[in-house]
Structure 1
Amino acid sequence: MKIYVLEKSVTLSGKSWEIMHKLKQMQQHYVYINDWIADIHDQVPPAPLKRIK
């Protein structure tokens, strides 16, 4: 399995069960993919999204 973390995206390549397993692992540490990307690139994550009515 390969994981490519770019500046604004993540690409997972491999077998479907490997990808599902990795996403479940990351779900325990991060709420959003942006948090994961920011942690890898040592950036401050953007402000949380707000709902607009």
Structure 2
Amino acid sequence: MRLNISEDRIILIGKAWEIQGLLRKYAKQHKLVKDWIEACTMVE
């Protein structure tokens, strides 16, 4: 599974069940994908 995060997008590459699991995990932490991107780009 690969996860690429840039300033305006998130690219998930992997099996469907891996992507679904990752999205469930991050859905608990972030309500919107926009919030997830902002949180990740602020760290870098």
- Which runs of 5 or more residues in structure 2 are unaligned? none
Deviation >3 Å, runs of 4+:
none
Partner of residue 14, structure 1: 14
For the aligned residue pairs, the C-alpha RMSD in angstroms reads 1.3
Which structure has the greater CA radius of gyration? 1
Q: Name the TM-score, length of structure 2 as normaliser.
A: 0.90
- Which runs of 5 or more residues in structure 1 are unaligned? 44-53
* Structure having greater relative contact order (Cα 8 Å, sep ≥ 6): 2
From the two aligned structures, give the one with the greater helix fraction. 2
The size of the alignment, in residue pairs, is: 43
